[in-house]
Amino acid sequence: MNIYQLKEKFPSLQVSKKPISTDETVLSFFEEPYYFTIAKHEVAENDAAFLNLLFDAPKPAFKSAESQLWYDLLFTQKAVPLTESSSRYRFVQFHIRKETYTKKEFSEWKKALLSFFNKKAEMIELGTYGVIAEKIEGSILGEDELAAVATTLEADFYFPVHFFVGLFHKKHLSMRDAFNEERRLFDLQDKVLVQTVESASLKHFARPLLSSTLSAELNAAFEKDDSLLPLIATLFENQGNISMTAKALFMHRNTIQYRIDKFHEQTNLSLRKSDGLLYAYLSSLTTTKVAEK
């Protein structure tokens, strides 16, 4: 299709061989070698779906060769001239839960976000989703610190943001596969401010239990007794330690022991054993009450 023929249907069409500055009022497309935009108010829903089938999204433009390299490594299958080393890197994914914002607002938000990271960290932004690639040196943000960053940025800019913290990886071509796996684990619908490989993996491992009759029986018990879900979750977080669980739930230690024994009598699953607690916890992740959080 000749792109310029679209001008008859969409008078706002703009075409350029260079990336076009955009905002939330336009739809952006790319067909080698042209970038083009169309005002959203001119495009019906069916037309938008058709245009997305015909044309690719515009390729991101990067200000540094390093950012371009990370993009090619993480989001394409291109051969990348990567100098392998023993240095380790981490990828922090982020997702902004705000659909409308100006270019200036986003620019200021990005500067604020990057100020919390090492100066050498590189950001790859793809709309409301992005990745920060950082070398592991000096102090790095932990899970609690990233949660504080998310809270601060939302308070200052009204940009609700959620993070996913990856593992440490050697600078090697295998990073591409490792990142792709981490990307699949990042649940953009989860309301938790900071997700990690371990927390997201447990939900991934729990999915087959959705079709398990045994797990369904446990879930029926969870539905009948509202105290079981927080008990199992807190026991799991405290590695089965009853005293710490009692303290976290503001209960007497004997009360926790009584509920554990009662659950055992009803199900023949012991929360005192690590494998029994793990199975109960994974099953709890498939309940409607947990899924809705």
What's the alpha-carbon Rg for the chain, to the nearest Å? 24
CATH number for position 264: 1.10.10.2840
Helical H segments across the chain, by residue range? 45-54, 65-75, 103-114, 143-157, 175-185, 197-206, 213-224, 228-237, 242-248, 253-267, 274-284, 288-291
Report the Cα 169 to chain-centroid distance in Å: 18
pLDDT at residue 194, as a whole number: 96
Answer whether residue 160 is part of any domain: yes
**Which residues, including other chains, have CB under 8 Å from residue 30's CB and lie 6 or more apart?**
36, 55, 56, 57, 58, 59
- Residues 230, 158: one domain? no
- Residues 195, 249: one domain? no
Which residue range is the domain that position 42 belongs to?
3-54
Per-residue pLDDT tens digits of the chain, which is 293 residues long? 567 788 888 999 888 876 676 667 888 888 877 788 899 989 888 888 888 888 877 767 777 888 888 988 998 888 888 887 788 999 999 999 876 777 788 889 999 999 999 888 999 988 788 999 999 987 789 999 999 999 999 999 988 999 999 999 998 888 999 999 999 999 988 889 999 999 899 888 888 898 999 999 999 999 889 899 999 999 999 999 999 999 999 999 999 999 999 999 999 999 999 999 999 999 998 886 554 44
Answer whether residue 134 is part of any domain: yes
Q: What is the domain count for the chain?
A: 3
pLDDT at residue 289, as a whole number: 56
Answer whether residue 249 is part of any domain: yes
CB 160 within 8 A of CB 98: yes
> Structure pTM?
0.71
Q: Where is the domain boundary, 203, 227, 253?
A: 203
- Residues 94, 7: one domain? no
pLDDT at residue 35, as a whole number: 81
- Residues 191, 226: one domain? no
**Which residues, including other chains, have CB under 8 Å from residue 84's CB and lie 6 or more apart?**
170, 171, 172, 173
- Residues 244, 175: one domain? no
- Residues 98, 162: one domain? yes
pLDDT at residue 23, as a whole number: 66
Q: Where is the domain boundary, 180, 203, 226?
A: 203
Structure tokens at 191: 């309301």
Answer whether residue 59 is part of any domain: no
Report the Cα 211 to chain-centroid distance in Å: 25
pLDDT at residue 49, as a whole number: 84
Cβ neighbours of 288 (radius 10 Å):
9
pLDDT at residue 168, as a whole number: 94
Q: Where is the domain boundary, 172, 203, 234?
A: 203
- Residues 110, 188: one domain? yes
- Residues 135, 239: one domain? no
- Residues 267, 182: one domain? no
- Residues 237, 180: one domain? no
Answer whether residue 60 is part of any domain: no
Answer whether residue 176 is part of any domain: yes
- Residues 199, 174: one domain? yes
CATH number for position 171: 3.30.70.270
- Residues 156, 283: one domain? no
